[in-house]
């Protein structure tokens, strides 16, 4: 685990803000139970993959004051039922170690792990720039677009497939040309998932139909928005977590020394 202080600093640098601005999100998440509480002071709050993913998702909100409503809505968003069994989605879940009912926050958490583990080449295509081709400040790492839309809650994850993954999908019968472009996984409010489950089980969908109608009605009155984060932000928290791992290994090595 990394400290909250290190994670806030890493994320702040990745979004061009001061650490205190990121800390405000962390404190609000902690106050409403989304983040675990540290034992001593703000900076002692332990951050693991799941906590880092919550911070990343929180940054996509309109600000700390919106988190009480934003987090439950988007964290639990489900893969669009019509696409849940598509080969790309199935393979992505396999690579990320996710179950069939994994939610939006679960995907973000697994992506943090993938970046932390250095295994992004299993899923995401990345061709590094040649030396001197771009400025030093340009992010040159595996990129993935994590985006939220509103007021009608929709979330997406977009990326280009790694070449080995394309080969596997083609062997499964997928069209090669369709796999070369940007892939997009769409997530909808969890009500749609419950509706789809009820239909599969041949149960009444009436209460979900009403809930969907209410969701649409409420969204008609809202102001539209679209926000996203990418590989730079995920890489930042993954690096902070890796640094913490390295420090722990060094400390254990020293403690084992004669």
pLDDT tens digits along 168-213: 999 999 999 999 999 999 999 999 999 999 999 999 999 999 999 9
Three-state secondary structure call for residue 146: strand
CB 159 within 8 A of CB 124: yes
Residue with tokens 């928005």: 225
pLDDT of residue 178: 95
Please tell me the distance from the alpha carbon of residue 196 to that of residue 190, in angstroms, as a whole number.
10
Three-state secondary structure call for residue 144: coil
Please tell me the distance from the alpha carbon of residue 68 to that of residue 28, in angstroms, as a whole number.
8
pLDDT of residue 129: 81
pLDDT tens digits along 11-61: 999 999 999 999 999 999 999 889 876 555 444 566 899 999 999 999 999
């Amino acid at each position: 685990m990394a400290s909250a202080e290190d994670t806030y600093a890493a994320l702040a640098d990745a979004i061009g803000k001061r650490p205190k601005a990121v800390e405000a999100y962390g404190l609000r998440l902690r106050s409403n139970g989304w983040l675990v509480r540290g034992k001593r002071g703000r900076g002692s709050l332990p951050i693991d993959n799941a906590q880092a993913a919550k911070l990343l998702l929180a940054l996509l909100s309109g600000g700390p004051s919106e988190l009480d409503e934003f987090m439950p809505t988007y964290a639990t968003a489900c893969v669009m039922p019509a696409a849940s069994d598509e080969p790309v989605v199935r393979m992505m879940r396999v690579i990320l170690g996710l179950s069939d009912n994994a939610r939006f926050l679960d995907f973000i958490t697994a992506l943090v792990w993938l970046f932390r583990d250095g295994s992004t080449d299993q899923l995401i295509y990345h061709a590094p720039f040649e030396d001197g081709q771009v400025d030093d400040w340009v992010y040159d790492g595996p990129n993935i677009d994590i985006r939220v839309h509103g007021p009608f809650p929709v979330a997406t994850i977009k990326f280009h497939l790694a070449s080995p993954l394309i080969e596997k999908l083609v062997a499964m019968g997928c069209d090669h040309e369709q796999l070369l472009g940007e892939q997009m996984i769409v997530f909808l409010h969890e009500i749609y998932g419950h509706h789809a489950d009820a239909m599969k089980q041949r149960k009444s969908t009436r209460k979900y139909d009403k809930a969907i109608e209410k969701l649409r009605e409420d969204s008609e009155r809202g102001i539209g928005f679209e926000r996203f984060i990418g590989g730079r932000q995920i890489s930042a928290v993954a690096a902070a977590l890796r640094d913490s791992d390295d420090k722990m290994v060094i400390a254990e090595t020293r403690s084992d020394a004669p």
